Every structure is written in structure tokens, then in C-alpha cells.
Amino acid sequence: MTPLTINGLAALSAAGDRPEALARRVAALAGERHPGVPIGGIVTEPLPRAEGHALTDFDVRARLGRRGTSFYDRATALAVVACGDALADSGLTVDDTNRARVGVVLGTTVGSLKSTSDYTRETLVQDKPYLVNPMLFPNTVMNCAAGQAAIRHGLKGINATVTGGPLAFFNALRYAGNAIRRGYVDTMLVGAVEEFSAHRAWASALSPAGGEVAAGEGAAVFVIGSDAGSAGNAAVCAVATGYGPDGTAEQALTDCVARALHVAGAAPTDITLLITSETTSSGRRPQRAAALRALGGHRPADLVVSRAAGDCGAATPALALAVALGLSGHDDRPPSGLVLLTAQGTDGGVGAALVRR
């Protein structure tokens, strides 16, 4: 299968709004966990812990102006800014000659949980339950961020929103690859976004896998195409997703890694870095174990990006890819080799991607 070239990217995370920022933090931490920052300034509700990994200085109005942005929720704001930054990084100018051929697909867990929950709250606590704000109604729908990105940047091609939590970015990559290979569009903006809110912080803390790292937020978007003229660029070589029913998720993930290697025509030893979507780096790590089983005896370097970025849900693997492309190689040479990214969603949902740097 033809690899899809990565022609531009953007990553907004607690480490900063430039893609290099998070890569630098990851390198500086050398595997240690970042404690996060006090979050009380942007969230008024009680939190499960005082620290989190949020872009505390992020101001959508400073980036995009007031018009059209005051009713954005945080996830939408992060996504729209990231899409704009990624387009700028790619050098692609969107105009009437190509806008129908440029699309967007974004990954999420539940959209903006705060937007939907607050909307419901209004119907519960107000005298008149129907006096909700119509301007905020679109924010309760999970496709809000992708739809607003299309409006802001004039992208009339395929516009999709995929769910899956940590798996969502892999779903987005597959969805985008299909749209390009089937000839529906030439270029896709592919990414994932998750906002920091009390709702998410609690959902993260209360979830079975939660606890070790604090909740975070971020957005990463990649401009992907099948352009022959960008052969030197990084490229997505294979993405495999699957499901392991009856508690067989680990086996399903091993199968996905094997399938991705097969599709990419790669050998395990081509892999120089493994990045999992795990939010824990101590004790048993099922994702790492499942991935390594498909690599024979090969043991690439491995990285848990949530230790630097926090639990960013759907955005974690997208940020991880930005980190992988932003990290310097040995002796500050450009990074090389294949990166293996893995994710496990809820239940039996799993995915793996191979990206050439």
C-alpha cells in the first residue's frame, strides 16, 4: 500500500503550542513523570487533584480573533487552531480551486464532555429547562470541532469525526487513508483533540486505568496526502485496527502490529521507537507486552508520552506522533527508522500504526 506522506503538522500541548515543545519536554524528562501545573486558574469546579496538564495561557481570541470564536468550547478552539497551524506548516493554500478536495477527520472520546454535560445541567437547574443557549447547541454534538475547522479554514471535502478515545487517532488515520486512496479527496487534515475540564479530569481519575498521570489536554493535526513530490517527508506506512472480544484485546493488539508490519513490508528490526498510549509506566504494561510479542526478540526504545503530556485521551497518540517526528536522533541527527505507535481503547478496541521518519 502506498504510504501517505505527512506534509505538515501542528501540536498544542501543555508543553506549548509548537510541535517541538512537547518533544523537548519528553527528551528533558528522560522517562520521568511531569507533575503538571496548578490548574485552578482555568477551571472553577473542584478537581480530583490540583495539578493538570493544560495550556493555561491558551487564548483562542488572541489566535483567531473574537468573531466566530466566542461560542467555541475548548476542544473546538484547540482543534481549529491546530488545523490552521498544520495547514500553514504544510504550505498548502486552500482556495476555490482545491477546497472541495481538502477534508478533515478528527478523533475524540465523547466530544466536549463539558459542553454536553453543562447543557444537560442547564435543563436540570433552570426554572425553565428549555432556556438553553442555542449558540451552544452545536457544541453538544461530537462533530463540532471538525465542522468548525471546516468553516474557519474553508474545507469542503470529506469532514468526519471518529471516536475511540486513545484509539480514535488510529481510526482517523485509517479513515483519512481510505478517503485519499479511494480518490474522494487529495488531502486530509488528520488529528485528535481533547480538552481539559473538571468533567474530563474526574472521568480520567475515576476510570479503571486512571490515576497515575493527571488529566491533560491537547490537539495534534497532520496534513496528509499521497503527493509523489514529497518523497522525503515522513509518511504513514500502515495503520491496523481491530477488536478483541471476550477479553482478548492483547492478542488483538499483537495481531494488529503483525498486520501493520506486513502491510508496510517492514521487519521488526526496522522499528526504532515504540510509543504506547498507556497512562502508566510502572507495573505490567499490557500494550508494550502485546506489541513486543509481534516483534520477535527485537526491543526498540520505548516511550510513554502521557508521562510528559498527561492523560490526553484521544489526543495522546496524535501528540505521540508529533513527538516522534520532533525528537532528535542520536547525536542530534534527524530521527530515522520506523516508529510503532499503539493504542488500546475501551473494551477490546486496539490499534497500531507504523510511521517512517
Return the residues of window 16-35 that contact another protein according to CB under 8 A: none
DSSP assignment string, 92-152 = PPP-TTTGGGEEEEEE-SSS-HHHHHHHHHHHHHSSSTT---GGGGGGGSTTHHHHHHHHH
Rounded Cα distance between 296 and 166, Å, is: 25
| Per CB under 8 A, 241 contacts another protein | yes
| Per CB under 8 A, 306 contacts another protein | no
| Touching another protein, residues 112-151 (CB under 8 A) | 113, 116-117, 119-125, 128-135, 137-138, 140-144, 146-148, 150-151
- 111 vs 191 by CB, closer to another protein: 111
Rounded Cα distance between 58 and 45, Å, is: 19
Rounded Cα distance between 116 and 270, Å, is: 44
Total interface residues for another protein by CB under 8 A: 89
Rounded Cα distance between 217 and 296, Å, is: 35
Task: Determine which residue in the list 91, 182, 228, 297 makes contact with another protein, applying CB under 8 A.
Answer: 182
| Touching another protein, residues 242-261 (CB under 8 A) | 242-246, 252, 255
Rounded Cα distance between 47 and 199, Å, is: 9
Stretch that binds another protein, among 21-29, 40-48, 188-196, 303-311 (CB under 8 A): 40-48
Task: Determine which residue in the list 13, 90, 171, 276 makes contact with another protein, applying CB under 8 A.
Answer: 171
Q: CB of 197 within 8 A of CB of 319?
A: no
Closest approach of another protein to the CB of residue 26, in Å:
26
- 19 vs 175 by CB, closer to another protein: 175
- 16 vs 138 by CB, closer to another protein: 138
| Per CB under 8 A, 324 contacts another protein | no
Task: Determine which residue in the list 163, 233, 276, 344 makes contact with another protein, applying CB under 8 A.
Answer: 163
Rounded Cα distance between 328 and 23, Å, is: 9
| Residue 82 C-beta-side C-alpha neighbours within 13 Å | 37
Task: Determine which residue in the list 15, 21, 43, 198 makes contact with another protein, applying CB under 8 A.
Answer: 198
| Per CB under 8 A, 168 contacts another protein | yes
| Per CB under 8 A, 52 contacts another protein | no
Q: How far is CA 52 from the centre of its chain?
A: 18
